[in-house]
Amino acid sequence: MGAAGHSLFRALGLAVLLVATGAGAARPYRGGAVATAYPPASEAALQMLDKGGNAVDAAVAAAFVAAVVGPYHSGVGGGGFALVHDAKSGGTQVLDFREVAPKGASRDMYLRDGALVPGLSTDGALSVAVPGAVAGYLELLSRHGKLKPAVVLAPAIRLAKQGFWVTPKYRQMATGRAECLRQDPEAARIFLTPNAQGTPDVPPVGHLIKQPDLARTLERVAKGGAKAFYAGPVAQALVKTVQDAGGLLTQEDLTAYKTRQATPLETTYRGHRILTMPPPSAGGLAVVQVLGMLQQLRPQGLPYRDPESLHLYVEAVRRAYVDRAKYLGDPAFVQVPLERLTSPGHIADLAGGIDPKKATPSASLLAPVTGGPASTLRKDAGPLTPEPEKKNTTHISVIDKDGNAVAMTTTVNYSFGSCLVAKGTGVLLNDQMDDFAAQPGVPNAYGLVTGEPNAIQAGKVPLSSMSPTLVFSKEDPKQVMLAVGSPGGSTIPTTVIQAISNVVDHGMDVARAVGTGRLHHQYLPDELWVDRWGLEPATQSALEAKGHKLRRVDAWGDAEAVYSDPRTHLRYSSSDPRNEGAATGQD
C-alpha cells in the first residue's frame, strides 16, 4: 500500500475513534500546527513548515493538494477567502480571491418566462463564474510566503500524477452528483469509472484516480505563475469548453480578473479580539453580530447546553441571517451599511428584540420596507433542507512556529462544482453563480434567501457564507490564539461561532470544540437544524416548548482549527471527526 493509502486509513481510523468517543484530545506541538480536511494536504503543509516555510507556504501547499484530492470541495477552478496574520508586525490582511460573474452575466439569466429554471445555476457551463483560486494562492505566496512556487506546488503535482485513493467521503459526494458528472465526458472520464453496463459510475473505495492533465496544468502554473492559467493554452481551453457548452466565460473575463484586498471585520468577545471576513462574505458579519448579541444577553457567560442560552443563540442567529438577506451583497456594487450593521447600537437593538420565552416566527421579521432592500423578499420562500451530500467547500488553518497564522476557506461551490472539466487541463470549474440571488427572494442550493443587493451583475462577486476567523489572546491582542473555519454552505458561520464559544465560554480543548454537536438556524426555512450529537432529548423538548421547529441534519460541515496556548505557546490542531481530515504539527 502506498503513502496515499496509509493516509486514507489513518484518517478513517481517527474519524472512527473520535466519533466513538465524542472527540479526541488534541496533542501538543512545539512548532507549527496544521488542520485540513485531507491527510495528504496536511502532510504537504507540514512538509513546507519543515522546509523552513511559514504559515502561508503551508496553507497554499495544502490548498493546491486539496484541489487534487478533494475535487468535490475545492479546486483551481474555484476561489476563496484568506486571513493572513504576520506575527512580527502584528498586522492581519484579508485577500478575497472569490470568483466573479462573467461580463456576459445578467440579472435574469436563469429565468425563463419569469420563472427560475432549476439546475441552470448549479449544473453545467452557464453556472461557471470567473475562477480566482490560482491568482489568490500565488498572490498569497508572493506577498507573504518564503518558498518558491515550484516547491509549494510539488506535492500537488506529484499527487495528480501518482493518483489518490477514493475514500468514503469521495463516494458520498460523487454519488450525490453522479448524474451531473455524467453529462460531461471529461468529468465522467476522470471522476467516475464504467460499471458492468459500461455506464460511468461512482468508483469503489480504494480506486486510484490519476489526473495527468491537471498535473501538467499545475506544472505550467509552477513555472509561469498566474499568467499560465489566465492566458495561453490553459485559458483557451477553459474558454472553449465553457462556450462550447453554452456558457459565458471569455478570455477578456480571465484577463481582467483581479484579487481584492480588504480590511478584516473586528470585534471582541469576552475580552478576546476577533478578526473575520468582511463582505462579500456574509459569514463574517454573522460572527460579529451573533457573538455581540450573546455577550450582551449573557455578559457573565453561557452555561453549557443550557436551554435558555441555546434559545438566545438561535434567536441571535435568526436575526443575523435576516440582516444578510436584507442588506448584503458585493460592496463594490451595492451600498452595504456595514458600519451600522456592526455597531453596538444595532447589535443591542437586535438583541433587544429577542423574546427570552418563545421563538420569533421568521416571517414576522420580513416586513417589506418600501423602496428598501427588503422589498423584494418573498414571505413564502420556504425551501426544504438542502441535500447534505451536495454541499462542498474546504478550510485550512495553520499557525507556524513564529506565530504567523492563516485561516483560508476555498470552494468550487456545489459538490464537484459545475461538473464541467476544461478539456486537456484537468481543471474542474465552479458553479459559483448559484451564490447570487438568481431570483431575489428565492432560495439557492443551500436554502439561503438573499435579496436585490445580491442580484446577478457582470463583474460582481457573489455573497458567501465562508467565514475564516482568527481569535486573539486576551493577554496579547496581537497573538493569535485560534485559527478556525469550516465548509458547510449556510452552516459555515454558525459552525465557526460555536467553535469559538466552545473554546472561550466552555474552556474546551480544540478537538472537543470542533467535534461537539451543533445547532443552526438561517431564518428560512424556519427550522432549527440539529446535528446527530447536537442536543439531549430533554433539551430538545425545552426548545420545542419555546416554539422552535427542530430538524435533524446528519451531515455537517467539518471545522478545521489550530489553537495556540497563550501561556505555554504549545499548539494544538484538530480536524473535525465528522469527516476524513487530519491535524498535524511539528514536534
Strands 420-422 and 405-411: unpaired
- Taking Cα atoms as reference points, which of 48, 38, 47 lies closest to residue 14? 38
Q: Please provide residue 124's backbone torsions phi and psi, each rounded to the nearest 5 degrees.
A: 90, -175
450 appears as a binding residue in the annotation: no
Residue 60 corresponds to which cell in the numbers above?
497554499
Instruction: Report how far apart, in Å, the C-alpha atoms of 268 and of each of 236, 275, 474, 478, 504 are.
Output: 47, 9, 10, 13, 11
Q: Which three cell numbers stand for residue 234?
A: 490553459
Distance (Å, whole) CA 485 – CA 141: 20
Is residue 465 marked as binding? yes
Write out the three cell numbers for 122: 448549479
For residue 21, say whether it is annotated as part of any ligand binding site.
Answer: no
Q: Please check if 260 is assigned to a binding site.
A: no
* Planar angle of CA 14, 479, 503, nearest 5 degrees: 45
Instruction: Give the separation between CA 61 and CA 84, rounded to whole angstroms.
Output: 15
Q: Would residue 263 show up in a list of annotated catalytic residues for this protein?
A: no
* Cβ count within 10 A of residue 349: 12
Starting at the edge strand found earlier in the chain, the sheet holding 519-520 runs 519-520, 528-530, 550-552
Q: What angle do CA 513, 172, 444 make, to 5 degrees?
A: 80
The pair phi, psi for residue 336, each rounded to 5°, is: -95, 120
> Is 418 labelled as part of a ligand binding site?
no
Question: 489: annotated binding-site residue?
Answer: yes
To the question of whether residue 575 is assigned a binding role by annotation, the answer is: no
In whole angstroms, how far apart are CA 189 and each of 209, 210, 570? 10, 11, 46
Residues 126, 95: contact at Cβ < 8 Å?
Answer: no
| Cell numbers given for 247 | 456558457
Determine whether the annotation assigns residue 98 to a binding site: yes
Residue tagged active-site, from 393, 450, 495, 584: 393
d(CA 63, CA 42): 10
Annotated binding site: 98, 411-413, 435, 464-465, 489
Annotated binding site for L-glutamate: 98, 411-413, 435, 464-465, 489
Active site residue ranges: 393
